[in-house]
Amino acid sequence: MAERAQPLGAAGAVGIAAAAAIPLLILLATVAIIRVAEPGSGLTQADWAAIRFTLWQAFLSATFSVTLAVPVARALARRRFPGRGALVTLLGAPFLLPVIVAIFGLLAVFGRGGLVNSGLGMLGLPQISIYGLHGVVLAHVFFNLPLATRLILQGWQDIPSERFRLAASLGMDAGAVNRHLEWPMLRQVMPGAALVIFVICTMSFAVALTLGGGPRATTVELAIYQALRFEFDLDRAAFLSLIQLAITVFLALLAYRVLRHPGFAPGLDRPLMRWDGRTPALRLLDGILILFAALFLLVPIASAVVRGLPEVLGLPQAVWVSALRSLCVAGASTVLVVALSVVMALAATRLRSQGSWIETAGLTALAASPLVLGTGLFVLIHPLANPESLALPVTALVNAFVTLPFALRSLVPACRTIESEYGRLADTLGLQGWVRFRLVVLPRLRRPLGFSAGLAAALSMGDLGVIALFADPDTATLPLQVYRLMGAYRMDEAGGAAVLLLALSFGVFWMLDRGARRADA
Amino acid sequence: MRIPSLGAGLVLAAGAATAGDLPELTVITYDSFVSEWGPGPAVEAAFEETCECDLNFVAAGDGAALMARVKLEGERSEADIVLGIDTNLTAEAEATGLFAPHGGTVGDLDVPVAWEDETFLPYDWGYFAFVHDTSLENVPQGFEELAESDVSIVIQDPRSSTPGLGLLLWVKAAYGDRATDIWSALADNVVTVTPGWSEAYGMFLEGEADMVLSYTTSPAYHLIAEGDASKAAAPFSEGHYMQVEVAGKLASTDQPELADRFLAFMLTDAFQAIIPTTNWMYPAAIPDAGLPDGFETLIQPAKPLLMSAAEARAARGPALDEWLNALSR
Amino acid sequence: MLTLDRIAFRREDFVLHANGSVNGPGIVAVIGPSGGGKSTLMSLIAGFELPDEGRVRWNGADLTELAPGERPVAVLFQDNNLFPHLDAATNVALGVSPCARPLPAARRSAEEALEAVGLDGMGARMPGELSGGQQSRVALARALLTDRPLVLMDEAFSALGPALRLEMLTLVTSLLADKTVLMVTHDPEDARRVARQTIFVEDGEIRPAEDTGDLFANPHGALARYLA
């Protein structure tokens, strides 16, 4: 091949090193875990219970989310109404929503003194408890129903509009359209959506931490946390981590093959022109479904805001300090994501067709769940230093790893486009290295970079995972502070802190994402 | 231990200012000890009056989680004293080799056991009990009755919480080999298992459960501090397990002399008088003024139960497995 | 003088051979059926591709190993000639110095070059605010400003309408008179209008440059078929 060898450049070399370092770090953590892991007498009954609970709640969460999402997505696909675009955008919001804020809202709605139980009480019906399996599944459906709806709505949009026109010209009614057009699409899309949600739910530590607990509602990740923080049993934590690793690696690989749309695909705001389903009964049904979905999403968040907003200004100093700490963690995490994803995307572009492994390398960080990675780092660090003293840097690092695959997914194609459109021009003008990056790449990369940075900041801001594993009482981040305040039943302050967290999470996302867009315009 | 007006030490911990060049004594303890209404602030003020030092409380979850933290930090710990484990954990703590002997002579104590421990000193004690609202009908009078009823309870995790561990050993002491059956039968009464006492008591006050594992002394808080007589502890026919809360000096301390002075101070009137109405437990050495009014209304268990430190250490592992197995089904 | 010294270039089942030289200054047209190798030839000269065999020389100096930016070559592409996030003057100034905020001297030269292509006072405009013809003029201004004696135009004006294209060709003739311009075009008429010499490319064979008038007056077999 005589294609001019693309000079890799310093950034490209760093990118390759970074891409290699990530799986290496994961490997190192895994080896550390394996070395420490002590199977003891093998899997105890309680371990089996944790595995069973992990898979069972994930199965229920995925099933409910996807099943409920189908009618909602269909309603959204075939109706036009004012606010539809806003609602579809809202469906993307739970991705950025800090888990602990949602839990606070869900408790306000579904808890003992919440709206739902008050309603049940007035009707003389038995009350429901939000703790244990119910609560975990409820919270997971809250987070994943919107995701499932978006994934399935995408499936609907992918059906060529000509087919609907054809169906209309053949006079098909809603039932026939369902049989011939919709059901075949759903059969393709639903398993993938369910699998993705299943995977997410096996790794959703914060929900298990807040609503689970007790041997009957313990996930494997929660058991890892308990082994470390309750008993300081490193062997056991490591052994459980291996179990969790086995589960997630298997599922993540499976999911990556199935998942094509990350749920951010554009164009979801354009409704299809539909001719079927125009009967008043179907309209009413769709209307009710959309209303239900919107309320299910909005009411918990709104209750959290209503309860917490008046408390924000009176929050104790410790909460503000932890907010500042969270901002620092989010900032560090964002810088890390931006730096890593840019050099890795540049390397992937320079390596051309051989560069696809770079993206895969970024994904390995996801295959090991953040909590397992955290445990590995804990085991690595413990002989050398007090892990608690590194709580914040480790949290920033692990959070960066979580966002990196999303960032690479948008940056790599963008970098490739820039290279193919302007690479040669830049070459003939002798633009190389930093000048080329600053002058050609960065301005055209601003939007995906802003989005990625916003994502990194928001996810890191709201994270309640590794920090719970590492933090000592003095280094709480804001989400951990909300959790502790809730644990102490200081609900007013917890609400205020939750609102602050909500505002900061969406605020940093908005600032970075919009900031980049504005600079671009 | 513990007062029901909750609040972890997070506020204090962040607001704690370092006072100039004074030597600093760091005590790690459980959450409720350092809360605004707990003993922490009063103890700090009282000790700092005489010690020429800066006393610093750090909260680290519930009592049993304190042990995990001590093990985690090992000799790197910056703490000088661990306050808030109980006799069920002292043998385990002793075995870590991280604690130093208290070296003092133990005077007259009002704890219901003879004190021979050379590492740990007690500061208060109490009986575990299930606390309920007096409006609850058909209050169970024992574990079997509780298991048969549909009364809901919140308990604490024995791995992270000393009350949780106390309950584990309570059932073990009362039922021996039948403990597993009792736990299996109780499983459907348990609303949830919290990591610590604060969370559980908070849930109970918010109405999430009919009863909560706490102490016979807990109703005293409602009565004395809030003038509310609506809370009561249920006397159990099997007897009540006791808790003796202790403190010990870490061998890695850089303030050994100051730490000894704190341990000695702990058994003086200045400290002990604070305990009944802030930690809502019986003081380890009853102050001259005696117990506050209201304590005489508390139930007096007919049959106190307590394992020795060595027995508790041996029983803990198997009992924990039984508990996990029974409740995970 | 541009010399292609026994160049061979293979890519899958496509093979390109070139041997010969072009004397400057003046416009040399490169014509031939699509897929014949016109653009590959340009890429080899510009340095985007490396030949498997042979050398590329300019006035005797070997360019073969030089990076595109180090060659005495300016290129006008069919599109994407301008960075859309930089204003016209900055785009032009990139021809002398690669910085986002050109020095006042570079900026003045850029404004002069813009004036030469008939875009007086348009330096602050963004490419998106310019018409297609104006964008081509900006690119031309940059080629004018660079101190590079060899200019490659790869169908640079093919997106423009006939009248506008003629105007641009005239501009090229007058402004780039002292440079050697290789101009790929799909329209033989362009060659006839402005090119002193013409190279015919077909199936990877680069024919020697011939006098345009002679070539069109007396087309040989393959060219005759192409023109027909």
Residue A237: count of CB within 10 angstroms of its CB:
27
* Among the listed residues C211, C166, C224, the one whose alpha carbon sits nearest the alpha carbon of residue C33: C224
pLDDT digits (tens, 9 = 90+) for C178-188: 999 999 998 88
Collapsed DSSP state (helix, strand, coil) of residue A446: helix
pLDDT confidence bin for A198, thresholds 50/70/90: very high
Does the domain made of B126-241+300-328 have the CATH classification 3.40.190.10? yes
Backbone angles phi, psi at A311, to 5 degrees: -90, -15
User: Sign (positive/negative) of CA torsion A32, A35, A40, A43?
Assistant: positive
Q: Do the chains contact at C75 and A422, CB–CB below 8 Å? A: no
Token pair in block for residue C47: 């340095």
Q: Do the chains contact at A443 and C85, CB–CB below 8 Å? A: yes
* The pLDDT value given to residue B219: 94
Token pair in block for residue C20: 């010969």
Q: Do the chains contact at A422 and C80, CB–CB below 8 Å? A: yes
Smallest Cα distance from A386 to chain B, Å: 6
Q: Where are the domains of chain B?
A: 10-125+244-295, 126-241+300-328
Residue C14: count of CB within 10 angstroms of its CB:
13
Picking from A264-273, B69-78, C102-111, C137-146, which range would have the lowest pLDDT averaged per residue? A264-273
- Are A253 and A367 contacting, i.e. CB atoms less than 8 angstroms apart? yes
Q: How far apart are the first and last CA of chain B?
A: 32
Q: Which CATH superfamily is domain A9-37+67-132+142-187+270-520 in?
A: MetI-like (1.10.3720.10)
As a whole-number percent, the residues of chain A with pLDDT over 70 amount to 93
Mutation target for A interface from C83, C90, C91, C101: give the one with most A CBs within 10 A: C83
Mean of pLDDT values over A237-244: 91
A181: amino acid identity, one letter: L
- Top-level class of domain B10-125+244-295: alpha beta
Rounded distance, CA A215 to CA B155, Å? 12
* Residues forming beta bridges with residue A65, ordered by sequence position: none
- Are A237 and A245 contacting, i.e. CB atoms less than 8 angstroms apart? no
pLDDT digits (tens, 9 = 90+) for A293-328: 999 999 999 999 999 999 999 899 889 999 999 999
* Among the listed residues A313, A447, A400, the one whose alpha carbon sits nearest the alpha carbon of residue A18: A400
**Residue A1 above 50 pLDDT?**
no
Cα B97 to the chain's mean position, in Å? 22
**Residue B87 above 50 pLDDT?**
yes
Residues 6+ apart with CB under 8 A from A518: none
pTM comes to 0.85
* Residues forming beta bridges with residue B55, ordered by sequence position: B25
H-assigned helices in chain B: 10-15, 31-34, 40-51, 63-73, 87-95, 143-148, 162-175, 179-186, 197-205, 218-220, 226, 256-266, 269-272, 275-278, 309-328
* Among the listed residues A219, A304, A230, A226, the one whose alpha carbon sits nearest the alpha carbon of residue A482: A304
Closest by Cβ to A230, choosing from B7, B15, B64: B64
Q: Which of residues 36-65 of C touch A (CB under 8 A)?
A: 46-52
Per-residue b or e along C31-50, where b marks 16 or more CB atoms closer than 10 Å to that residue's CB: bbeeebbbbbbbbbbbbbbb
Backbone angles phi, psi at A125, to 5 degrees: -95, 155
C and B: touch, per 3+ CB pairs < 8 A? no
* The pLDDT value given to residue A520: 57
- Are C209 and C24 contacting, i.e. CB atoms less than 8 angstroms apart? no
Average pLDDT, chain A: 86
Token pair in block for residue C7: 């160049």
List of chain A residues whose C-beta atoms are within 8 Å of the C-beta of residue C70? 430
Looking at per-residue confidence, does A489 or B71 come out higher?
Answer: B71
- Are A5 and C47 contacting, i.e. CB atoms less than 8 angstroms apart? no
Mean of pLDDT values over A136-151: 94
* The pLDDT value given to residue A365: 73
Picking from A166-175, A397-406, B13-22, B78-87, which range would have the lowest pLDDT averaged per residue? B13-22
Token pair in block for residue A38: 């002590």
Mean of pLDDT values over A51-59: 95
* Residues forming beta bridges with residue B88, ordered by sequence position: none
Classify residue A479 as exposed, middle or buried by CB count within 10 Å of its CB (0-12, 13-18, 19+).
buried
Does the domain made of C2-72+148-227 have the CATH classification 1.10.10.10? no
pLDDT confidence bin for A157, thresholds 50/70/90: confident
User: Sign (positive/negative) of CA torsion A267, A269, A270, A272?
Assistant: positive
- Look at chain B and count its residues: 329
Q: Do the chains contact at A111 and B208, CB–CB below 8 Å? A: yes
- Look at chain A and count its residues: 521
- Are C175 and C195 contacting, i.e. CB atoms less than 8 angstroms apart? no
Left (φ > 0), alpha (ψ -120 to 50) or beta: where does A218 sit? Answer: beta
Closest by Cβ to A489, choosing from B72, B202, B324: B202
pLDDT digits (tens, 9 = 90+) for B6-36: 443 443 343 444 446 789 999 999 888 988 7
Rounded distance, CA A520 to CA C126, Å? 13
Rounded distance, CA A324 to CA A262, Å? 31
Mean of pLDDT values over B257-278: 93
pLDDT confidence bin for A277, thresholds 50/70/90: low
Smallest Cα distance from A421 to chain C, Å: 6
Mean of pLDDT values over A90-113: 89
List of chain A residues whose C-beta atoms are within 8 Å of the C-beta of residue C129? none
**Residue A117 above 60 pLDDT?**
yes
Q: Tell me, letter by letter, the H, E, C secondary structure of B198-216.
A: HHHHHHHHCCCCCEEEEEC
List of chain B residues whose C-beta atoms are within 8 Å of the C-beta of residue A321? 14
Average pLDDT, chain C: 90
pLDDT digits (tens, 9 = 90+) for B46-67: 999 988 899 999 888 888 888 9
Rounded distance, CA B28 to CA B32, Å? 12
* Residues forming beta bridges with residue B307, ordered by sequence position: none
Closest by Cβ to B192, choosing from A132, A316, A385: A132
